């Protein structure tokens, strides 16, 4: 089921460009990393869940690329741009072969089931 997005034809033209360019550099950086690496984790300081995702992969010697955007005290606007782009509400955001698979708990499920290895082999 596709997620519901606010219709573009209901956005006033005067703000349309602002919406499309708001923190676009962060989105572009993550999108570039997703294209260049098999696994990408996007996280933030002080949050234990990105650390958990990294440790899960490190324990299995699975390489990944990590991007970090601020902490609870800063860069929240930049992180909000990523949340709006993906629709995923929390950090970390984990991509495998370009596909957003969720967060640390979702990564754990893929590891436990063997699905991560199948995705990486595909």
- Its domain, for residue 64, covers 20-121
Q: What is the pLDDT of residue 1?
A: 75
Q: Is there a domain that residue 5 lies in?
A: no
Count of other CB atoms within 10 angstroms of residue 46: 11
pTM value is 0.94
Query: Domain tally for the chain?
Result: 1
Q: Is there a domain that residue 90 lies in?
A: yes
Residues contacting 13, CB < 8 A, separation 6+: none
**CATH number assigned to the domain comprising residue 102:** 3.40.30.10
DSSP symbols for 40-65: EEEE-TT-HHHHHHHHHHHHTT---E
Residues of the chain with pLDDT under 70: none
């Amino acid at each position: 089921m596709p997620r519901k997005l606010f219709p573009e034809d209901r956005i006033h033209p005067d703000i349309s460009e602002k919406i499309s360019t708001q923190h676009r550099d962060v989105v572009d950086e993550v999108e570039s990393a997703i294209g260049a690496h098999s696994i990408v984790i996007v996280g933030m300081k002080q949050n234990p869940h990105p650390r958990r995702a990294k440790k899960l992969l490190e324990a299995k010697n699975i390489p990944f690329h990590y991007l970090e955007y601020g902490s609870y005290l800063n860069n929240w606007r930049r992180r909000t741009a990523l949340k709006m782009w993906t629709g995923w509400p929390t950090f970390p955001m984990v991509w495998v072969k370009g596909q957003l698979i969720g967060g640390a708990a979702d990564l754990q499920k893929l590891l436990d089931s063997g699905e991560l290895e199948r995705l990486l082999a595909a």
